[in-house]
């Protein structure tokens, strides 16, 4: 299980990291000192679990958890805090558990078990939905994981799938893909959808064009003026 740890106190981060090291199936992929860093780490590392403090400067833990719910595939959230008065609010944002500091290893083990159960249930529930796009390559078929897709670009009767391994063509319409995967992708103009979680910024050029930066894509993509307000809203939510 891949874990991101967010706490504004360095000693608390170190202590919880030491506790996590006792679990062979847990990999700590990133540490964060506030909610903004936690959201960025989740977007970059796609963890299974976020261990999240509540009282942090800037974006606090509760607000970070609310924003995570807008991710295409958010991690499970376990709050770790010195104050037990937040417990009710924690479960209102779909936290799977609530730990009070100082966290005991036995209590952490129980929280990790709950997170595993939650993730397994979500995976099973999503089993009926597609997790790949299928491209014909010569006489064979290639499956492209959705989480590796950067953007989808309509070209004549095909759609170009730009992903971590290159580009492939699929015989599907951009409209049908938007209807099926609208939670994961957002339209930036009439012929292009981009992965929400890969957006790194929106820049307006001196001549009035809107350019979208994507993690993993070297050159920015141009967005239409009509789509620019929706993109700004997505950036505010990330």
On whether the CB atoms of residues 29 and 4 are closer than 8 A, the answer is: yes
Q: pTM of the prediction?
A: 0.54
Tell me: the pLDDT tens digits for 150-198?
A: 999 999 889 999 999 999 999 889 998 998 898 899 999 999 999 999 9
The pLDDT tens digits of the residues spanning 69-111 come to 888 778 999 999 887 665 545 556 678 888 999 999 999 999 9
Which CATH number is associated with domain 132-237? 2.40.50.1020
User: Which residue in 118, 37, 111, 129 sits closest to 75, CA to CA?
Assistant: 118
Q: What is the pLDDT of residue 129?
A: 65
The conformation of residue 14, written as its DSSP 8-state character, comes to H
Domain boundaries, the chain: 2-127, 132-237
What is the reported pLDDT for 124? 58
Decide yes or no: CATH 3.40.50.2300 for domain 2-127: yes
């Amino acid at each position: 299980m891949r874990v991101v740890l967010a706490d504004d106190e360095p000693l608390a981060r170190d202590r919880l990291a030491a506790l996590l090291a006792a679990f062979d199936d847990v990999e700590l992929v990133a540490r964060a000192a506030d909610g903004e860093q936690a959201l960025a780490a989740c977007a970059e590392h796609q963890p299974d679990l976020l261990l999240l403090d509540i009282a942090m400067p800037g974006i606090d833990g509760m607000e970070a958890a609310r924003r995570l719910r807008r991710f295409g595939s958010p991690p499970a959230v376990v709050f770790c805090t010195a104050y037990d008065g937040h417990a009710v609010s924690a479960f209102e944002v779909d936290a799977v558990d609530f730990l009070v500091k100082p966290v005991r290893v036995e209590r952490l083990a129980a929280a990790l078990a709950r997170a595993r159960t939650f993730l397994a249930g979500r995976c099973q529930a999503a089993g009926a939905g597609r997790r790949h796009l299928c491209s014909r390559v010569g006489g064979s078929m290639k499956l492209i994981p959705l989480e590796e897709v950067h953007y989808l670009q309509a070209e004549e009767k095909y759609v170009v799938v730009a992903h971590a391994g290159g580009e492939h063509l699929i015989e599907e319409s951009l409209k049908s893909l938007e209807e099926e995967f609208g939670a994961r992708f957002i339209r930036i103009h009439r012929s292009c959808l981009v992965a929400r979680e890969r957006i790194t910024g929106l820049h307006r050029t001196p001549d009035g064009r809107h350019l979208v930066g994507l993690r993993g894509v070297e050159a920015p993509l141009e967005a239409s003026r009509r789509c620019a307000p929706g993109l700004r809203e997505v950036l505010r939510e990330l």
